[in-house]
C-alpha cells in the first residue's frame, strides 16, 4: 500500500491525499509537478522516472490512513541537472 506522503521532498509544498499535482517514483519519493519538471522527470534519489500519484479515496482514509512522515531533502538543482548531462 502506498504511503501517500504529505509534502514535496524538494520544496515542502503540501500534497494532501487528493493532490492532483503529486508524483512518485518507484520508491515513493514524492514531489510536486513543478519540482518534477525542474528535475527533468528524473528522481534525484534513485534516478528513476516519476508517475502521477494515485488519489486515495476519501472513504478509505480511516481504514488506510496516509503517512504523516515529512521527507524534506531540498535538491541541489544545478548539481542534479549536471549529473543528468553526464
Query: Binning pLDDT at 50, 70 and 90, where does residue 83 land?
Result: confident
pLDDT in tens, 11-63: 999 999 999 999 999 999 999 999 999 999 999 999 999 999 999 999 999 99
The C-alpha cell that represents 66 in the structure block? 496516509
Q: What is the rounded distance in angstroms from the CA atom of residue 76 to the CA atom of residue 21?
A: 21
DSSP secondary structure letter of residue 64 = S
Domains, the chain, in order of start with CATH, read: 1-79 (3.30.40)
pLDDT for 50: 98
How many C-beta atoms surround the C-beta of residue 49 within 10 A?
A: 12
Q: What is the rounded distance in angstroms from the CA atom of residue 69 to the CA atom of residue 31?
A: 14
Q: What is the SS3 assignment for 24?
A: strand
pLDDT for 38: 96
pLDDT for 51: 98
Amino acid at each position: 500500500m502506498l504511503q501517500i506522503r504529505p509534502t514535496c521532498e524538494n520544496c515542502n509544498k503540501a500534497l494532501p491525499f487528493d493532490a492532483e499535482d503529486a508524483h512518485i517514483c518507484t520508491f515513493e519519493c514524492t514531489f510536486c509537478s513543478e519540482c518534477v519538471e525542474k528535475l527533468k522527470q528524473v528522481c534525484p534519489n534513485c534516478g528513476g522516472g516519476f508517475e502521477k500519484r494515485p488519489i486515495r479515496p476519501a472513504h478509505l482514509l480511516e481504514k488506510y490512513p496516509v503517512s504523516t512522515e515529512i521527507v524534506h531533502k531540498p535538491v541541489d538543482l544545478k548539481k542534479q541537472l549536471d549529473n543528468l548531462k553526464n
